[in-house]
Amino acid sequence: MNRPTPGQKMDSMQYATFNVSRVRALRGPNLWSRNTAIEAIVSCQGDLYGGPGYFSRLRQRFPEIGYQAPVGNDESLPPLPNTLELAALGLQAQAGCPVTFSRTVQTVEPGVYQIIVEYSEEAVGRLAFDYARALCMAALHDQPFDLAQALAALRELDEDVRLGPSTGAIVRAAVARGIPYRRLTEGSLVQFGWGSRQRRIQAAETDRSSAIAETIAQDKELTKTLLHAAGVPVPEGRPVESIEDARVAVAKLGWPVVVKPQDGNQGKGVTVNITSEDHLHIAYNAALEISSAVMLERYLPGQDYRLLVVGDKLVAAARRDPPHVIGDGLHTIRALVDQINSDPRRSEGHATLLTKIRFDDIALARLAAQGYDAESVPPIGARVVLRNNANLSTGGTATDVTDDVHPELAARAVAAAQMVGLDICGIDAICGSVLEPLESQGGGIVEVNAAPGLRMHLQPSYGKGRAVGEAIIAQMFAPGEDGRIPIVAVAGTNGKTTTVRLITHLLATAGRCVGMTSTEGVYVKDQCIDTGDCSGPRSARNVLMHPDVDAAVFETARGGVLREGLGFDRCNVAVVTNIGSGDHLGLSYISTVEDLAVVKRVVVQNVAPDGVAVLNAADPMVASMADFCPGSVTFFAADRHHPIISTRRAQGHRVVFVEDGRIVASRGQFEQRLPLERIPLTRNGSIGFQVENVMAAVAAAWALGISWKVIVDGLSTFVSDPNTVPGRFNLFDYRGATVIADYGHNPDAILALVKAVEGMPARRRSVVISGAGDRRDDDLRRQTQILGAAFDQVVLYQDQCQRGRADGEVLALLREGLANAIRTSDIREVRGEFSAIDTALASLDQGDLCLILVDQVGAALGHIGQRIAAA
């Protein structure tokens, strides 16, 4: 490309522009990395470098774009697509998002690129890409771009959508232990682990937190009654029904008092150290705004402490100080509050470590009690309290005192939590010091809180943070537990569904409740819970949410990997059946078998370090994936003399092969032999592709530690009928003729089917076939070229969905493949799959064989069954 020289005067749009045609989120491990990422398709026209001065203008608008060009080396400037990538990543990084990975890849189409940018929150990643596009366009057109506004919007969105400090700390602790997690809502509901081993939290509340215990904790009067019964010191007081009743209660208790909602939380509506009727009236109204039930208690002098109990242990403690300012003799109280609120650790909500101090009636009343108002200028060193309530959610600060807590005081906190019934509990205690027991200093426990905030313990204002997230995870998962269930991911061009079903059957024979996904639906313990093509990540995630599932087997199709990535972070076993000549080539920039192998390889790259990849040694593309497996590898091949099998066997590694009519599983001196005659799926070993499927399933079951007795029993009870493996070499008898229904839909599958039926005696052979419109022309022709050499009659029909093809276009290509057929002498064209089936069945005589390549598997099998029943 001829680039304009720096001195040329030229409108940028005359030589450079770009268009974004698609943006999608990769939510799991994917073709590019293990990171979640935004993937965009960008087409560029004109100068690939944006023209003279483009990158300088871009850097002027975004100095932190993350690219340093060598001085004076104009040729080193990044191309336009790369600047879009750098901008999308850099904007997120500048907004405080933990992202590091990005990539730009040129596709096979000239001027078209795939841009991949990591995100930590999908909504933020999408918005960052939109801003990056606007930024690059502004630089191209030499127009302004408001960087400050963009970063502010990204930060605000990130704060809105990311997990809060408490939930985030628990999630980070889980990740550190290798426990997978999934966010179930836009809020703080999170699942840890999978299937039957899963646990859930909502903020700092677990699925074992009793609803009754939470109800008790919300009722402060009931809580006090129970704690008193347990011998835990509590302040004297009672509910009050009106301001007049509150005055009666004060007359009995004496000043000062505390007023709070009977079922409030986060310190909302709580006012302490009330010493006058005016202040009492304000406090009562403030509590009434939160709850219709109001409590009044005797004020306990001392410090405000929060004690965190997890299980039967006190894991953290903090002294909480009320929101206050220190006078400097110059600024008003309002100005001093503004200075404190400018701290970036403070926000309006709970997303940051501290909350802003606010002026309200309670704060103004507290100031009045000290002889101030908001515009007063306190003297140097004067401590002015704006709220006696010390909750962080009302602007307070925290100092860690965990190491100072007296054992008897800690025991009282644990007793309070257990009396209420909470597994995670925040205990509010008032006392002079935590160095002594409550009883010896006249202190008491004033509240017990479910789902306590963890901010003050994670990063207190003063003192060291505590590993409270780790303590909660340790309470939920025993040492060594990671919440995972065995996962098997099966990829390949052909044989995936049969292999998935056979592995599922072997696991079920071992007593597991298995969740399975395939192109035919989602099954949990033989019950279909979803229908259609469910070989993508969404179906996998649904299975991993099911509370009964003990093990999962996922058919992992290329489309789902490209569209969204994997539905899990890693698997125990990855099976790749074959690549062969490929399928669906030419779609989504996957144009060669090498490209396809890279996509199929994703499951291998995401095997657990102690997991196993089961690979077809006879397929070079598959065998080469071994170099990318983090775990170990088991190879399989029918030929025991295959170089890979021979070498690995000699080295003592696991291999599976065929010898003397038996499938042999070998490792070192160990051998397990499985007679093919006892494996119905293979028809005594005569169906070669089924033998390969069985070898792959045996290797996977071996990797999962299933006993050989169970494997033998499972193989002997797995049959190839329409119920077990619909559309996978299902055999029927129709008036003395053999009918085979199969979903073979690419040249490799058809070659394997032809090889299988050639070994079956037949007077005359016929085949029913259509073709999917999203295959390449040569692939469609090749299918009928293969069939034309093996069948006497070919019945062509038009598929229900032409997938972008014109009417009749697919049939024309299939006819071209039969132009020089060696054997076929009878070619018929029929509209509709069922009509084609009827046409073929009507021409059958005793001793004939008919292969029906079905499209609508369930419906077609049902139709065949009806015709056979009628006959």
Cα gap 259→633, rounded to integer Å: 67
List, in sequence order, the alpha helices (H) in 327-438.
Answer: 333-341, 361-369, 407-420
Identify the domain boundary among 120, 136, 161: 161
Same structural domain for residues 140 and 264?
A: no
Residue 349 CB neighbour total at 10 angstroms: 11
Residues 130, 84: contact at Cβ < 8 Å? no
Same structural domain for residues 633 and 658?
A: yes
Task: Give Cα 67 to chain centroid, integer Å.
Answer: 31
The span from the first CA to the last CA of the chain, in angstroms, equals: 70
What's the half-sphere exposure (Cβ side, CA atoms, 13 Å) at 66?
Answer: 17
CATH number at residue 826: 3.90.190.20
Same structural domain for residues 685 and 541?
A: yes
Residue 456 domain-assigned?
no
Residue 844 domain-assigned?
yes
- Tokens encoding 505: 């059957």
Same structural domain for residues 761 and 792?
A: yes
Residues β-bridged to residue 587: 590
Cα gap 333→187, rounded to integer Å: 36
Residue 761 domain-assigned?
yes
Same structural domain for residues 742 and 688?
A: no
- Specify the pLDDT at position 15: 63
Residue 334 domain-assigned?
no
- Bridge pairing between strands 737-742 and 849-853: parallel
Number of independent structural domains in the chain: 4
Same structural domain for residues 149 and 258?
A: no
Identify the domain boundary among 161, 184, 215: 161
What number of residues does the chain have? Answer: 871
Same structural domain for residues 689 and 593?
A: yes
What SS3 class is residue 545? helix
Residues 725, 501: contact at Cβ < 8 Å? yes
Same structural domain for residues 590 and 491?
A: yes
- Specify the pLDDT at position 442: 93
pLDDT along the chain (871 residues), means of 10: 38 69 96 96 92 93 80 69 97 96 94 96 98 97 96 96 94 98 95 98 95 93 94 94 96 94 81 92 94 93 95 97 89 92 79 78 86 92 83 83 98 97 96 96 94 93 95 97 98 95 98 96 94 93 97 95 96 96 74 92 98 98 98 98 97 98 97 97 94 98 98 95 88 94 90 92 94 82 93 88 75 91 93 94 95 91 93 82
Residues β-bridged to residue 674: 663
Residues 815, 784: contact at Cβ < 8 Å? yes
CATH number at residue 247: 3.30.1490.20
Cα gap 193→569, rounded to integer Å: 11
Residue 250 domain-assigned?
yes
Cα gap 697→575, rounded to integer Å: 8
CATH number at residue 555: 3.40.1190.10
Residues 841, 738: contact at Cβ < 8 Å? no
Question: Helix, strand, coil: what percent of the chain each, to 5?
Answer: 35, 25, 40
Same structural domain for residues 660 and 588?
A: yes
Buried b (16+ CB within 10 A) or exposed e, 746-765: bbbbbbbbbebbeeeebebb
Same structural domain for residues 685 and 783?
A: no
Cα gap 835→274, rounded to integer Å: 88
- Specify the pLDDT at position 71: 53
- Which amino acid does the sequence have at 215? T
Q: Prior bond to 256 cis, omega within 30?
A: yes
Residues 637, 649: contact at Cβ < 8 Å? no
Residue 373 CB neighbour total at 10 angstroms: 12
- Specify the pLDDT at position 7: 37
Cα torsion 481, 482, 485, 486: sign? negative
Cα gap 501→528, rounded to integer Å: 13
- Specify the pLDDT at position 13: 44
Same structural domain for residues 689 and 753?
A: no
Same structural domain for residues 700 and 847?
A: no
Cα gap 695→699, rounded to integer Å: 6
Identify the domain boundary among 257, 280, 299: 299
Residue 603 domain-assigned?
yes
Residue 374 domain-assigned?
no
The CA-atom distances, in angstroms, between 855 and each of 645, 744, 832, 858 are: 36, 9, 10, 9
Instruction: Identify the H or E element spanning 157.
Output: helix 147-161
DSSP string computed for 418-451? HHHT-SEEEEEEEES-TTS-TGGGT-EEEEEESS
Whole-prediction pTM: 0.88
Domain of 841, in residue numbers:
730-870
Residue 241 domain-assigned?
yes
Cα gap 37→27, rounded to integer Å: 7
- Specify the pLDDT at position 361: 85
The CA-atom distances, in angstroms, between 692 and each of 217, 292, 574, 619, 687 are: 61, 71, 15, 12, 9
Residue 652 CB neighbour total at 10 angstroms: 12
